[in-house]
């Protein structure tokens, strides 16, 4: 069964989001687009909160959020207790976000990385497993009690 991926962001990430949906679908992932659905200026929380809630409800395994800097979407997603969103701009960060932090949302900065790198980071993030072990105890301490 294909991994179910949630994807969303804002107007700055709109172009990358569309290309990533096509790429991920071609690789066999089941992808849901949470928006936006045009390049018109929007408020990213309107799209990221529903995406994060759906991941918390286990409707999707992982998510990808994209805005200009990646910060706004990451901050918004991380307001949800069950979300561990990681802002990544290189391959090592994308791998470590999964291996050590069990991140479940990848945040991409569309204005600071090429589309080709965004695609590579997404592939790394989606195919890298959490190592568990000593990292599991730390990850289990992240959510507020």
Is 70 annotated for ligand binding?
Answer: yes
Which position among 49, 67, 80, 88 bears the catalytic label?
A: 67
Is 43 annotated for ligand binding?
Answer: no
User: What are the CA-CA distances from residue 3 to residues 26, 27, 60 (Å)?
Assistant: 13, 10, 8
All residues at 6 or more sequence positions from 145 whose CB lies less than 8 Å from its CB, including other chains: none
Is 98 annotated for ligand binding?
Answer: no
Is 111 annotated for ligand binding?
Answer: yes
Is 84 annotated for ligand binding?
Answer: no
Clarify whether 100 is annotated catalytic: yes
CA nearest neighbour of 66 among 56, 58, 79, 76? 76
* Spatial separation of the C-alpha atoms in residues 54 and 72, rounded to whole Å: 19
Is 102 annotated for ligand binding?
Answer: no
Clarify whether 88 is annotated catalytic: no
Catalytic residue set: 67, 100
Binding-site sequence positions:
10-11, 68-72, 101, 111, 134, 138
Binding-site sequence positions for D-ribulose 5-phosphate:
10-11, 68-72, 101, 111, 134, 138
């Amino acid at each position: 069964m294909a991994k179910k991926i949630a994807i969303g962001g804002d107007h700055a990430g709109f172009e990358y989001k569309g290309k990533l949906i096509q790429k991920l679908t071609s690789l066999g992932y089941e992808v849901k687009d949470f928006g936006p659905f045009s390049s018109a200026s929007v408020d990213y929380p309107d799209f990221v909160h529903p995406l994060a809630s759906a991941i918390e409800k286990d409707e999707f395994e992982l998510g990808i959020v994209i805005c200009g800097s990646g910060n706004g979407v990451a901050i918004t997603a991380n307001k949800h207790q069950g979300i561990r969103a990681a802002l990544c701009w290189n391959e090592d960060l994308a791998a470590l976000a999964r291996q050590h932090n069990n991140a479940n949302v990848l945040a991409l900065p569309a204005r600071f990385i090429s589309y080709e790198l965004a695609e590579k980071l997404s592939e790394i993030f989606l195919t890298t497993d959490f190592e568990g072990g000593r990292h599991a105890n730390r990850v289990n301490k992240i959510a507020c009690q």
